[in-house]
Structure formats: structure tokens, C-alpha cells
Structure 1
Amino acid sequence: MNWQPSRQGEITLQQQIETWITEHIERGDWVAGTKLPTQRQLAMQLGVNRSTVQQALEELKAAGILEAKVGSGIYVAHNSWHSLIKQTQPNWQTYIDTSLHKPNYHTIQLINEYEQRDDVIRLGTGELAPSLLPTTEIEASLKELSLEPKALGYSSPQGSNQLREAICEYVKKRGIHANPQNICIVSGALQALQLIAVGLLEQGSIVFQEQTSYLNSVHPFQSVGMQMMPINRDEQLAQTLVQKKRNRQAVFYAVPTLNNPTGGVWKELEKNQLYEACKQSRIPIIEDDVYHELLFEAATSPIKSMDDSGQVLYIGSVSKTLSPGLRIGWLIGPTTVIERLADIKMQTDYGSSAVSQEIVLHWLQTGKYEKHIKSLRKELLRRANFVEGILQESFTEIASWSPSKGGFYIWLKFDEPIVDKELFTKLLQRQILINPGYIYDPQDTQHIRLSYAYATDEELKIGLQIVHECVVEAIVKRHKE
């Protein structure tokens, strides 16, 4: 044993000794149960102070690699291999805890988990039932497509030029005038929000939103250091925005048509008021318009249609209408903004699926898409009426609601604050999955987002009966306390 630690490097003598002993054990030179030389012997052989050896041995004992036997000496521990493996593996939990993106609420993690199970009745799900997806028609359209070899490669940064041209024609019906260079194809609305968060805003920026908001259930802005700020859209809106914004960057996230989760629809005047208030403070607006095609009555013009200064970033998608699995949406905005976000998108996923883009292009160009939307709205209206019939029959004494104006949801409000984790868990135990209001507003203990778009009629009937039973039990329990 002629090795001695170096006094020239940055690593301390103690750390070098610890590594040297560990390597002997890893190589099998010192097997479990091997007795080490005494501290005095090691100090002499290694040319260091005895205290340095003692500290090294204490660290290895604390790590479970060595063990002391009273009156006998220091030995290689019998579980030393296990301890060494633990030491050589990275501490992944530390990485997770200190990572940039924040974990979602436990309730939402459970929702995401249980949505994959076939034995659960999904009463809050924000997607179409498989029976409402035009599966056969999409399969048939694949045979109608004539794919060029280039279409099977990576997409261009902003997406297929043909698809962007088709989207320009499509959004004209909404009063939006755009050119292909104003559009970036994204993998759904959530990716659009993520790109805006990392590509346009600095840490500490304010994201204004309504009190009850979909953004509270996901973290595209919170995870990169943005401050979420609920705000009332009242007569003092313009002054409030100025006071709250001060010298910081800010954006306003708005879902004017079929708000998620409330299902609310803004009037034309309300859209104008927001646009003018934000214009005064030079606050960009993110208009999330993914549900507008599902309105049961004619839709009013989007905020983007009144935008003459490039202030509004407009998000559309086929995830709520055609297929969430296609992962195709679009973001419309000023050219400089779109080029910036397209560059970031290319750095993260090299563009949305080229095949999916070809399918959406085909559906827009052939009129299949609008034909499908008409029949889908009709079925969603039937389902909404069916659920409202159940609510009228069984829930009038314990809850209130507004008739659905379209989309997927009824924002059901119970008369008492009983919507908590306990109710959510109790329903889950009975294989009923709900979306409680507190995931959209942490202070909300009275609402659930009731979806009629996924469960079958029979499942809706059974599920709502069980919800009724559990809610009544919760109310009775609350009155006894």
C-alpha cells in the first residue's frame, strides 16, 4: 500500500481518503467483513494526521459503508454494496424538487391518472367521447390524401404553408384577416401558452386573468416565474390594469367564448371594453378561442377581429372539435412574434406532426370539417339538454346552474361549500371522477365542472345519482358539525 493523497489538488485530503477506501471496496479488494488497519497505521501509511483519517472513517461509517465493532476495530459493513449503490446514483428527488416546472395539484394528478381507466365514469372530462370523434371519416380521409415525400419529413418552423393558408381562409369567417406569415402551427393551445411564456415574457411578468380560470389547473406561466393575477372586468378595469401593472410586463389571458370551466360567453361590449382597456396600458391579450365552434347559437366576433395594432395573440385548435390526438392548433399574431415563437418551437419539437397537418388541411379544404362541426353541435346540444333534465329532476333543492350555451360543460354550483378533497375522494372511491371547482379557483368550494361530452347517457344518469347521494351526505354531515 504505497498510495498517498495529493496535497496539490482542490480535493481535500479527507475526501481523497474516502474515495480511496471506497474504490478498494468496489473492486472487491476489501470484501464485507474485512478489518481495516488502525487509524494510527493508516495515518502513518498515508502521510496525514490521524484526525484526517478519523474524519474520513466517520463519514464512511455514517454512509453505512464501514462499521465499528467495540473493542475490535473498523470493518467493511455487510451492507456496504447497497450503501455504495445509493451513493453512486443521482439523487433524483433533489432534481425533481428543484426543477423549473412545478408539480400539478394532487387532485389533477389523480384526475389524469383515473381518466385512463375504463371502469370510471368521467363527469368532468374536457374532451369528446370516442363515439363523437369522426374516426371512420378520418381513416377514410387518410386514403384520400396524396402525401409527398416531403410531407413525411420535419415540418417547417411555422408549420405547413398550405395549412396556414387554409386557416387564413377559415378565420376570415370570424372577421380575422391574417397572412400565412402571421400563423404558427402548434401542438394544441397549451403549447401555444408555453411558447408565449418562455418566448415573450420575462420572469416576474403579470398574467391577468379572470378569478376562475383554466390557467389555475395548469402551470405554463407559473413554472417560469410569472405572477398570476385575477382581476374583475368592471367599469374600473382600465385604471386597475394601470395600477397593478406599474412598470412590469403583463398580458391578459381571456376566454371570451365558452370559458373553461364556467361556460360563460362575453357580450360584444365586454370584448370591446377589455380591448380598449388593455390598449391604453399596452397590455397584449391572449385570446383562447378553442371552443367557439361549439356554441349552440351564432358566435359573436372575437377580440382579434377588432385588433388593428397586433395587440391580440389568437389561439385556435381542432382538439375540442375534431381530435385531440391530432395535436394541431394555431397561434395568430404579428410576424415578429410568430417568427420568435416558431424558432422556440423548432428548438423543442422540430414542428408539429406533418401527417396530422395534412389531415387537418384536407378537412378544411374539402368542407368535411364544417360539416362535422354542425353534426357535433347537434349532438352536444342533445346531451346538454339530457343532463339539464336530470339536474331539474334531482338537483334543484341542492344546486343551481345556468343552461349551457355550448361546448362541453355546465358550471354546477351547490348551495353549500361542500366541494373539497374529501368529496372528490369519496366519489372516486365509487368510481365517479369529477373536476372540482377548487382546481380552477383555490377558494371555490361550491362548484364542479360537469361535462356532458364524454360519458354515455346511462353513465351520466348513474354518475349524477351517485353525486347527488354524496353531496346530500356531505350537507347532512356539515349541519351536524
Structure 2
Amino acid sequence: MKRHIPVQIEWHPDPAQPVPVYRQILEWMYGKMESGEWPAGTRLPSQRAMARHFQVNRSTLNQALKPLLEAGVLQGRGSQGTVVASTAWSLRLPVQPDWNRYMTAGYFRANQEIVQAINTLEFDDRLIRLGTGELDPRLFPQDAFRQTLRDVADAITSLGYVEPLGMPALRQALAGYARKRNLMVAPSSILITSGALQGLQLISAGLLRGGATVYVEDPTYVKSLQVFQSAHLRLCGLPMDDQGLSLEALEKHLRQSSDIGNSVLYTIPTNHNPTGRTMSRQRRVQLLALCSRYGLPIIEDGAYEELTFDGTPPPSLKSLDIGGQVLYLGSVSKSLAPGLRIGWMIAPEPVAQRLGDVKMQIDYGASSLSQQVLARFLTSGRYAQYLDGLRCELQRRCQAACQVLSEVFTGLADWQVPQGGFYIWLTFHDRLPMDLLFRKAVSAGVLINPGDIYSSRHTQSLRLSYAYTTPDEFRRAVSRLAAVVRSSLAVSAKNSYTGLVASG
């Protein structure tokens, strides 16, 4: 059964106003219902969540809700929580649409509530973002990009639609860029997408049947999980070691599978998200051989590949692929600018053409302006020059971050030093309530990404990012986080001791 989705609240009461806080909340809620922004059937967050968001105690919140509940405007419905029962305008309508029913009927699944919270809190400037999957905006190459925009502005003649595979100039530039990384590809095998994530959506919609099996590393990129699940594909998580996904586990599943011909492997072999691990060259060769033996196609996500610190990542699976079994996804969302919304897929020509046709049905092509800008940024040499500096800076930040972790978390957690990318996967030795840790960290001014959102199991881990913060900011955030962790461990130990005494 699909769960009912609570409305997200961004507004906050102002304690400095002469109007009591409870009255502000009451009037604001009534205004949302009176205006129709919250129609009948709208589910509110839990009272605990609302009290935490409004930064009031439960009695103050109850004081605000009581008149609405007594008037029948709000109604408690057990496990569904508090919902809007009626509004002034809805009472005048002969038939009221049940928007909750519509919202739970769509095929896109709702994000986990903690993911929704992260998506909202990432825009709160009071928090240090310790787990975010985005580059520090202060690293953006402003001068080089402005020059590129001027170049494009001088040459631009129109902003019309482009052909199904994308702008030829950009595909040519990407083919040339790929050749420098020993990936021989023709422009006709490149499909421009609106970000690499859309590549996964196109594959799910255009190549896979409902119920198909997608083998993934566990943990893996959270957005990929959402895309595959919303497409009604069956996920099969594979354990990882220091060199990447376990080939033994994959082969065991393949031997037992009755789904050959309707399954695919999705992997991030270089600077993995969220663990930061990089698959060894030997294992890449073995993985290709194993998948070839079972006829299993591979989706290779190369979003972090060019962020390897020394500039020489292991060869991509696609560059080792001689049989056309690998679909390669690339993007500049991690290396340059997510706002460009430009990614690409390298695939056999018939596959690129099929998915190009699907894309035309969805959005009629990625932004032609963004494509022109990226093509110029690539061919001018500015992108390669920028990447050299970016890799050095990321390496500096990574080294500083690992030093801080050694000072603060030695004995409490384990981690692996990455070769590139954004992330460090921090795994605690002792069990911690991750939801509570998340809330306490936010209260301490730190936004973290619990590892459980990337996995089907309880991980006891956090995804830490050194890409968004300066070393000083990272140190400050980790110090606050360590205080929260130690406090939580102390409470857990006390509760365990109390439980033992009581049972004795």
C-alpha cells in the first residue's frame, strides 16, 4: 500500500512579533486552508515534526491546533495522522477532489521523509552541509565561464530545437574529449541528456520491462534507487569490498536467476557514490568477462571519473568493452555545474537512437543554450584547464578531511581514503539511532546524509563530503558532529546499563 504523503512546510513563526506564536501558527494554517492551497484531504506532518519545525513545544502546537480540530477543519485519522477535513470553500463544492488519492496513484514514488528533509535543509544557510553531493559554489570558474558565455553570445543565431541525439557540435566535442581518455566513440553513438539521471530514466522506460532485475552495488546512488523503483524494476543489492562490487555475489545471483535477458547491472566503478571506492583494473576486466558470459548489459555511471586526484583513473568499463555491452553515462553536474542540466550517454547506435526517440517524447531535447555553452567550454580548452585545478583542490580538501577524522573519530569509526571524487564513507563501530543522530546534528548546525538512504539495510554509516566545504568548515562541522555522536553513545550506554539492572 502506498503511504500518504505529508505536505512540506517551509514557513516559520516569528517569536519577535507581538502576536503569540501559537496564534501565528493557527492563523497561518487557516490561511493555507482558506485559500485552497491545502485542500480537503491534505495530510499534515506529525505533530512531533511540526513542533520541531516551528521550534515550539508540543503544548504550544496543541494550542494552535485545538480550535481547528474542534471546528472540524482538521481531523485526526489514526495512522494517517492529522488531515484537513474541510475548508470554507470546499464546503460549497458539490464534489471535492481527493488529492491524496491522486498523489499516491502516480508511478513516481515519494522520497523517504529524511531525503525530503535533506532536500529542503540544503537551502538553509545556517547549516554546514557535510554530506551534500555538490561542488562548493566558490570553486566555480567564473572568469572562464563568463568568457565562454561571451563567445556563445557573439556566435549565437537561434535557440531552436535540436536533433534527437542532441546538438552535433556538442556530440563532436564529447567524442574528442572521450578519445583523450582512450574511449573511441563516434558522435553518432552519443545521446545528450538532461543530466545523467535522465539517462537512467530513459533506460528504465525504453529498454527494460516492468519487473526486470537491476543489480546494484549496496550502497549506491540514492537517485538511481528511486528511478528504478518508480519504474517497477526489481533491485538486487550486491555487497562491496575495498575494490568494488563482489563478483562472487553477482555470479551467485546470475546462476540462480531466471531473468536473464531482462536484467541489467548498474555500477559506479570510479570514485563510487556514496563510498568513494574505486574498482581495480583487474576486477573491471573480470566483471566484463562475467557479464559477457551471462549476457548481462552494464550501465556504467562515470559522473566522478574525471575527478580522480592524479588525473589518471583506471580505464572505464566502456573503454575496455569490445562487444558493445556497456552503456556509459557522463555528466558535468558533479565536475562543473548541475544547473546546466547536461549529461550524455555513450551507447551502440541503435540504442542511442531508440532512447533519443524516447527523449523526444519526454522533453523534446535538452537545453540548446546549455549545449552550445558546454560545447564551447570543451573545445576552448578551458574545461581541461579548470579540471586540473579542481582536482588539486579536491585532493587538498580530502587530505585535510582525513586528518580531521583521524583526530576525532579514531576508535569510534572506520573509513577508507578515496582516490578522487567527493566522498568518505564513515562507518561507526557501535550502533547509533541514525534518525535521532540526523535531527541532533541539524540542531547543532550540521546537515548529514545517513548511509541508510543509499542502502536496503542498516549501515551504521554516514556519507561525508569534502567537496562543498573548506577544510576549516569541515573541521568545525566534524567537531560538532563528534560531540553529538559521543552524547548519543553515552545515552545508549546508560540506557543499556539501566536495562540490565532492571532485568537483573
Taking the aligned partners of 2:374 and 2:223, their CA distance within structure 1 comes to 30
AA at the equivalent of 1:255: I
Q: Give the aligned partner of residue 364 of structure 2.
A: 350
Contact 2:200–2:224 under 8 Å retained in 1: no
Q: Distance in 1 between matches of 2:90 and 2:133?
A: 46
Aligned partner letter, 1:195: L
The change in CA–CA distance for 1:136 and 1:218 in structure 2 (over 3 A counts) is farther
* Correspondent of 1:418 among 426, 432, 440: 432
Distance 1:314 1:463, change over 3 A: same
Within 2, Cα distance between the matches of 1:412 and 1:82?
Answer: 50
Structure 2 distance, partners of 1:439, 1:184, is: 30
Measured in 2, the distance between the counterparts of 1:344 and 1:406 equals 34
> What is the Cα deviation at residue 81 of structure 1?
6.5
Distance 1:113 1:271, change over 3 A: same
Aligned residue in 2 for 1:205: 212
Which residue is 1:132 aligned to? 139
The C-alpha deviation readout for 1:172-203, integer Å capped at 9, x for no partner, is 12222211110100111111101100111000
For 2:268 and 2:201, locate their aligned partners in 1 and report how far apart those are by CA, in whole Å.
Answer: 16
1:128-179 CA distance string (max 9 Å, x none): 01101112321221112243324x1122211111110111111112222211
| Secondary structure at 2:155 match in 1 | coil
Q: Deviations over 1:193-247 (max 9, x none)?
A: 0110011100000000112111477411110110000124234643531322435
Q: Aligned in 2, Cα 1:279/1:242: closer, same or farther, shift over 3 Å?
A: same
Q: How big is each residue's C-alpha offset from its partner over 1:39-75, in whole Å with a ceiling of 9 and x where there is no partner?
A: xxxxxxxxxxxxxxxxxxxxxxxxx9xxxxxxxxxxx
Correspondence 1:274 to 2:291 = no
Q: What is residue 88 of structure 1 aligned with on the other side?
A: 95
List alignment gaps of at least 5 residues for structure 2. 1-71, 73-86, 240-245, 496-504
**Pair 306,82 (structure 1): closer, same or farther in 2 beyond 3 Å:** closer
Q: CA deviation at 1:364?
A: 1.2
Alpha-carbon distance in 2 for matches of 1:319, 1:409: 15
The correspondence of residues 221-240 of structure 1 with structure 2, limited to 5 A, is 221-232=228-239, 233-235=246-248, 237-240=250-253
RMSD (Å) for aligned C-alpha atoms: 1.8
Q: Does structure 1 residue 292 correspond to structure 2 residue 340?
A: no
Provide the residue aligned with 1:383 in structure 2: 397
Which residue in 1 is equivalent to 2:184? 177
Match of 2:255 in 1: 242
Number of the residue aligned with 2:226: 219
Normalised TM-score (structure 2):
0.77
Instruction: Choose from 136, 147, 154 the match for 2:155.
Output: 147
Whole-angstrom CA distance in 2 between matches of 1:340 and 1:217: 21
| AA of the residue aligned to 2:127 | V
Identity of aligned residues (%): 41
**How far apart are the structure 2 equivalents of 1:84 and 1:247?**
57
Alpha-carbon distance change, 422 to 445 in structure 1, aligned in 2, over 3 angstroms: farther
- Partner-residue secondary structure (3-state), 1:418: coil
Structure 2 residue aligned with 1:451: 465
In 2, Cα distance between equivalents of 1:215 and 1:414: 20
Partner of 1:261: 274
Aligned to 2:336: 322
Residue 103 (structure 1) aligned to one of 110, 116, 119: 110
CA deviation after TM superposition for structure 1 residue 80, in Å: 9.2
Aligned to 1:311: 325
The whole-number CA distance in structure 1 between the counterparts of 2:297 and 2:145 is 37
Q: Does 1:402 align with 2:416?
A: yes
Change (3 A) 1:194 1:285: same
In the alignment, is residue 121 of structure 1 matched against residue 135 of structure 2?
Answer: no
Check the 8 A contact 1:204/1:248 in 2, yes or no: no
In 1, distance between residues paired with 2:224 and 2:436? 19
Aligned equivalents of 1:236, 1:122: Cα separation in 2: 35
Cα distance between partner residues in 2 of 1:138 and 1:218: 33
Task: Structure 1: state its 5+ residue gaps.
Answer: 1-63, 65-78
TM superposition shift of 1:381: 0.8
- SS at 2:247's partner residue? coil
CA contact (8 A) 2:197 2:223 kept: no
Partners in 1 of 2:273 and 2:102 — Cα distance? 33
Match of 2:386 in 1: 372
- Shift in alpha-carbon separation, 1:279–1:424, aligned structure 2, 3 A: same
Displacement of 1:376: 0.2
TM-score calculated relative to the size of structure 1: 0.80
2:260/2:294 contact within 8 Å kept? no
